[in-house]
Amino acid sequence: MKLFVDTANLEEIEALAPLGIIDGVTTNPSLLAKVGGDPRVVLKRICDVVQGPVSAEVVATDSDGMVREGRELAAIDSHIVVKVPFGKAGVQACRTLAHEGTPVNVTLIFSSAQALLAAKVGASFVSPFVGRLDDIGASGMDLIAQIVEIFQNFEFSTEVLVASIRGPIHVIESARIGADVCTCPPKAIEALFNHPLTEIGLQKFLMDWAKAQQPVG
């Protein structure tokens, strides 16, 4: 399973990239606004660091505007994946951009029916939001299982990109189900490294080694 980081903060991306675990980046207008500067410059720098798929979202709400913005975003770098919100306008824009050879990530997916429609028009990725479903008492992981099953049944090439990750459990469950990608905030990725028994074990090894180095007698 691929692991994307959900941030537009270049320092956070540069800190994770050398570890070799980050396959791509997802951004949105809110994340780009938080870091400031020219969004196109920021996106280009992210692409240069990651050398993998970088989702950049349109802000238009009509299909023609989405297509126009999508073409502009795609021109920034060959690694850009144009992100469009699900809806009739988004589906239409996805169809046009995909036919032009531009990879598209259809976001704000909350049902398997929505994922199916996005896949039918050639989306490269669909982004179901598991955390937000959990927040309202629904099961985000049940949705992931449904989408994975449907895509396997019909051999869609669209990848399931699990979004709105809250922590390691979401990542592990997504991997068990067979999702293609998880996109996580940096804190959630950091949490994947942590386990108290690892820390306890390391400290014990170090203490034992220190004792072994002490002079005898």
Domain range list for the chain = 2-212
Encode pLDDT of 103-117 as tens digits.
Answer: 999 999 999 999 999
Encode pLDDT of 159-195 as tens digits.
Answer: 999 999 999 999 999 999 999 999 999 999 999 999 9
Domain at 2-212, CATH from 3.40.920.10, 3.20.20.70, 2.60.120.260, 3.40.50.150: 3.20.20.70
CA distance 56 to 46: 11
Task: Give the angle subtended at the CA of 10 by the CAs of 6 and 11, to the nearest 5°.
Answer: 105
> Radius of gyration (Cα) for the chain, nearest Å?
20
CA distance 16 to 113: 35
pLDDT at 96 over 80: yes
CA distance 106 to 28: 12
CA distance 54 to 32: 13
Encode pLDDT of 32-47 as tens digits.
Answer: 999 999 999 999 999 9
Q: In this predicted structure, what is the pLDDT of residue 217? A: 61
Catalytic residue among 2, 34, 44, 83: 83
Encode pLDDT of 193-202 as tens digits.
Answer: 999 899 889 8
205 or 59: which leads in pLDDT? 59
Q: What is the pTM of this model?
A: 0.93
Considering Cα of 7, then 8, then 9, then 15, what sign does the dihedral take?
A: positive
Encode pLDDT of 126-164 as tens digits.
Answer: 999 999 999 999 999 999 999 999 999 999 999 999 999
Q: Catalytic: 44?
A: no
